[in-house]
């Protein structure tokens, strides 16, 4: 351990604000990017699923599958 | 060999492989990064010149390193896009460019904050910071061009041309920025160049570089998978996959 | 009407050699430009105006102007080349000439090179000619002006060549102008650095032949690579529309 106490670790001999703000921004951005990418992946999968479900539901009755397809596509291609 | 090459170009094959490897990439990446950063923050000795502010190095160098090597990877993928028209290659470029932008920004931000206790100002027109700033512009250009072209195929190829033009320029830019720097402010105190770094400093640095690389691998796989799904949403295999609930 | 004043591309038979074809493309661009003289004047006016902004906006002091004059002129020249790049392929793209050009039996990169050379003769060269006058206005001494002109003479063709790639990539896109600047400005940085650096070195009395040779190397590199990249980009943009 390079520091004597926890408060010394936080203070970093006066360099604390610089070091910790860097680490905070790093964690926020990296974690944010990971979570955001995972959520978008989920959203795309859900979108595909909804579309396939709709197609299956409407294929027997021939009820405007085209319109629903274009609708989901617009939703999916957002980013 | 050719069969392998052919497989490599198949989005379906990649999707399967990526799904299998991603948990390992994530776990090992998080572990290494956490280990490296904890070691660097709490256990590595303070620098005799810069004191504790040097601990920013453990995120500054990995992000800068990754941002630069990602552009090179994108350039390799761009060659593959233009020469072999491999779908996965342009999926890679599209998926990775925003990540590169974020990492470049992070290395600039950490460099600027590091500069405050070291140089006394937030921003110094230092050769490395300036080169990174230009790299940020290059990433920005790639993303802007990709967004501006509606047709997916032309966007991929146009972006590939731009990335290649950029990668030819990067060494020239680096060289000229270095020269410009020596012209205007000779021999400033370099942030990351140390005469000799003790083992307790460079081992955690190496760990965090490796960890961030693995995390980037996870992130790239995830984003590529998303992009593949969007592009292949009309195909049979996506339908089977989604309906089976193995997204 | 623009269509009336623009002569069509003369039909080039497959028997015509490479250089006559390039010369034909070059002559056509020059002729078209001289029929729309305002388009020729605009970048020059822009150049002069940008230079005027600096004494007004920063300081008219002789010392400041002498020190940063070369930089001001280089930045202004860079911006006015950037401004004119939008025209490089735009008209030909709009009236379909460009597609004819792509279909010619001669390799596209050579024809693109001819167009780029014409662009430089019509915008870069006039800028170099204007530079001594503006150099006197920002109090540069004679030697610096001479070196500045020399660097611009070597540097502006590089700007046109690199710019042609950006112009080809953004062809037919919405807000192509801003996008073009975003893509191209980072690539212009080395030329700018060495252009102004050479003048700075000359004013300090150090030898500049090495720097000029290096800029010449940039020019050769751009001359050999840029036309290929532009030609590839043009094909992509045309297949897009």
Higher pLDDT, residue B156 or B200 = B156
Residue B220 has pLDDT above 90, yes or no: yes
pLDDT score for B179: 81
Q: Structural domain tally of chain A?
A: 1
What whole-number distance in Å separates Cα of residue B32 and Cα of residue B184? 40
Which of B138, B180, B183 is facing C186, going by the closest CB pair?
Answer: B138
The two most distant CA atoms of chain C are separated, in Å, by 62
| Chain B residue numbers touching C151 (CB-CB < 8 A) | none
C193 vs B: CB within 8 A: yes
The answer to whether the beta carbons of residues B88 and B105 sit under 8 Å apart is no
The answer to whether the beta carbons of residues B191 and B121 sit under 8 Å apart is no
Whether residues C232 and B82 touch (CB distance < 8 A) is answered with: yes
- Report how far Cα B154 is from the mean position of its chain's Cα atoms: 24
ipTM of the complex: 0.85
What whole-number distance in Å separates Cα of residue B2 and Cα of residue B167? 28
CB-side exposure of C26: number of CA atoms within 13 Å? 14
pLDDT score for B30: 94
Within-domain flag for A32: yes
Per-domain residue ranges for chain B? 19-244
Residue C174, Cβ density class (10 Å: 0-12 exposed, 13-18 middle, ≥19 buried):
exposed
What whole-number distance in Å separates Cα of residue C231 and Cα of residue C209? 33
Q: CATH code for B19-244?
A: 1.20.120
A50 vs B: CB within 8 A: no
* Predicted confidence (pLDDT) per residue in A7-56, tens digit: 777 777 777 788 889 999 999 999 999 999 999 999 988 888 888 888 77
Higher pLDDT, residue C219 or B241 = C219
Residue A72 has pLDDT above 50, yes or no: no
pLDDT score for B184: 62
C84 vs B: CB within 8 A: no
What whole-number distance in Å separates Cα of residue C163 and Cα of residue C157? 9
What whole-number distance in Å separates Cα of residue B216 and Cα of residue B223? 10
Residue B80 has pLDDT above 60, yes or no: yes
- Give me chain B's average pLDDT, please: 85
> How far, in Å, are B5, B213, C69, C73, C126 from residue C136 at the CA level?
63, 55, 10, 11, 17
Mean pLDDT value of segment B233-242: 81
The answer to whether the beta carbons of residues B32 and B238 sit under 8 Å apart is no
Is the torsion defined by CA of C75, C76, C79, C80 positive or negative?
negative
pLDDT score for B54: 80
What whole-number distance in Å separates Cα of residue A56 and Cα of residue C138? 75
Higher pLDDT, residue C11 or B24 = B24
pLDDT score for A65: 46
Residue A78 has pLDDT above 60, yes or no: no
Within-domain flag for A1: no
> How far, in Å, are A32, C194, C224 from residue C162 at the CA level?
37, 16, 11
C237 vs B: CB within 8 A: yes
Residue B221 has pLDDT above 50, yes or no: yes
What whole-number distance in Å separates Cα of residue C181 and Cα of residue C171? 13
Selected residue of B96, B226, B239, B245 to mutate for chain A interface (largest A Cβ count, 10 A): B226
Higher pLDDT, residue C205 or A77 = C205
Residue B148 has pLDDT above 70, yes or no: yes
pTM: 0.86
Q: What is the dihedral of CA B150, B156, B157, B161, to 10 degrees?
A: 110
Residue B153 has pLDDT above 60, yes or no: yes
Percentage above 70 pLDDT, chain B: 88
* Predicted confidence (pLDDT) per residue in B90-146, tens digit: 899 999 999 999 999 999 999 888 888 887 888 888 788 888 999 999 999 999 999
Within-domain flag for A48: yes
Selected residue of B130, B149, B153 to mutate for chain C interface (largest C Cβ count, 10 A): B149
What whole-number distance in Å separates Cα of residue C111 and Cα of residue C82? 21
CB-side exposure of B30: number of CA atoms within 13 Å? 10
Within-domain flag for A70: yes
Whether residues B239 and A45 touch (CB distance < 8 A) is answered with: no
End-to-end CA separation in angstroms for chain C? 24
Is the torsion defined by CA of B89, B91, B93, B96 positive or negative?
negative
What whole-number distance in Å separates Cα of residue B84 and Cα of residue B78? 10
Task: Tell me the nearest-neighbour CA distance from B6 into chain A, angstroms.
Answer: 26
Which of A2, A9, A37 is facing B44, going by the closest CB pair?
Answer: A2
Residue B195 has pLDDT above 60, yes or no: no
> How far, in Å, are B148, B150, B160, C168, C191 from residue C240 at the CA level?
12, 9, 15, 12, 31
Place of tokens 């396939």: A52
Residue whose C-alpha is closest to residue C170's, from B161, B169, B145: B145
pLDDT score for A79: 44
pLDDT score for A70: 46
Q: Which two tokens stand for residue A1?
A: 């351990």
A39 vs B: CB within 8 A: no
pLDDT score for C126: 93
Angle between helices B152-184 and B57-84 (to 10 degrees): 140
Selected residue of B11, B45, B56 to mutate for chain A interface (largest A Cβ count, 10 A): B56
**Average pLDDT of adjacent 10-residue blocks, chain C of 241 residues:** 51 69 89 86 93 90 88 94 89 86 87 93 93 92 91 95 94 86 93 91 85 92 93 88 60
C240 vs B: CB within 8 A: yes
C198 vs B: CB within 8 A: no
Structural domain boundaries enclosing A15:
6-76
Whether residues A52 and B222 touch (CB distance < 8 A) is answered with: no
Q: Where are the alpha helices (DSSP H) in C138-208?
A: 142-169, 176-203
Residue B2 has pLDDT above 80, yes or no: no
Is the torsion defined by CA of B131, B132, B136, B142 positive or negative?
positive
Helix and strand counts by DSSP (H, E) for chain B: 8, 0
Task: Tell me the nearest-neighbour CA distance from C236 into chain B, angstroms.
Answer: 6
Q: Which two tokens stand for residue C23?
A: 């010369």
Given pLDDT bands bounded at 50, 70 and 90, which one contains residue A73?
very low
């Amino acid at each position: 351990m390079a520091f004597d106490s926890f408060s010394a670790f936080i203070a970093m001999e006066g360099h604390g604000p610089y070091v910790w703000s860097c680490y905070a921004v790093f964690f926020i951005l990296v974690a944010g990017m990971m979570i955001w990418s995972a959520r978008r992946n989920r959203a795309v999968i859900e979108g595909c699923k909804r579309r396939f479900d709709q197609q299956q539901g409407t294929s027997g009755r021939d009820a405007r599958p085209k319109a629903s397809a274009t609708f989901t596509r617009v939703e999916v291609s957002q980013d | 060999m050719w069969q392998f090459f052919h497989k490599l170009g198949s989005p379906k094959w990649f999707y399967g492989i990526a799904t299998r490897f991603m948990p390992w990439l994530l776990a090992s990446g998080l572990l290494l990064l956490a280990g490296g950063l904890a070691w660097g923050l709490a256990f590595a000795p303070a620098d005799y010149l810069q004191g504790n502010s040097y601990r920013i190095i453990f995120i500054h160098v990995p992000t800068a390193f990754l941002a630069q090597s990602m552009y090179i990877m994108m350039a390799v993928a761009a060659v593959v896009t233009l020469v072999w028209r491999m779908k996965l290659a342009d999926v890679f470029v599209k998926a990775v460019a925003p990540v590169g932008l974020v990492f470049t920004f992070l290395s600039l931000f950490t460099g600027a904050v590091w500069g405050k206790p070291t140089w006394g100002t937030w921003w110094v027109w230092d050769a490395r910071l300036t080169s990174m700033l230009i790299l940020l512009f290059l990433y920005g250009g790639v993303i802007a061009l990709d967004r501006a072209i509606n047709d997916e195929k032309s966007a991929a190829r146009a972006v590939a041309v731009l990335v290649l033009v950029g990668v030819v320029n990067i060494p020239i830019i680096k060289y000229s920025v270095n020269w410009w720097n020596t012209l205007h402010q000779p021999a400033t105190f370099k942030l990351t160049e140390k005469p000799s770094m003790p083992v307790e400093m460079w081992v955690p640095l190496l760990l965090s570089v490796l960890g961030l690389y693995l995390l980037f691998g996870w992130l790239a796989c995830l984003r590529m998978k998303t992009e593949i799904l969007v592009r292949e949403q009309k195909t049979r295999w996506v339908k089977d996959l989604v309906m089976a609930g193995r997204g | 009407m623009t269509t009336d004043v623009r002569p069509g591309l003369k039909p080039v038979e497959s028997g015509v050699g490479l250089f006559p074809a390039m010369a034909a493309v070059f002559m056509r661009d020059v002729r078209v430009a001289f029929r729309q003289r305002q388009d020729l004047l605009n970048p020059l006016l822009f150049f002069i105006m940008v230079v005027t902004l600096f004494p007004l906006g920063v300081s008219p002091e002789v010392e400041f102007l002498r020190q940063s004059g070369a930089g001001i002129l280089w930045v202004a020249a860079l911006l006015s080349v950037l401004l004119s790049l939008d025209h490089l392929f735009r008209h030909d793209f709009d009236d379909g000439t460009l597609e004819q050009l792509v279909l010619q039996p001669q390799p596209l990169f050579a024809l693109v090179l001819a167009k780029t050379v014409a662009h430089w003769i019509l915008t870069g060269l006039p800028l170099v000619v204007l530079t001594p006058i503006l150099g006197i206005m920002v109090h540069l001494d004679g030697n610096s002006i001479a070196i500045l002109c020399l660097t611009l003479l070597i540097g502006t063709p590089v700007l046109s060549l690199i710019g042609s790639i950006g112009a080809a990539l953004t062809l037919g896109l919405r807000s192509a102008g801003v996008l073009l600047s975003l893509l191209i400005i980072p690539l212009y940085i080395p030329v700018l650095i060495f252009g102004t650096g050479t003048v700075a070195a000359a004013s300090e009395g150090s030898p500049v032949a090495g720097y000029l040779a290096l800029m010449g190397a940039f020019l050769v590199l751009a001359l050999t690579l840029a036309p290929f990249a532009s030609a590839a980009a043009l094909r992509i943009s045309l297949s897009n529309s």
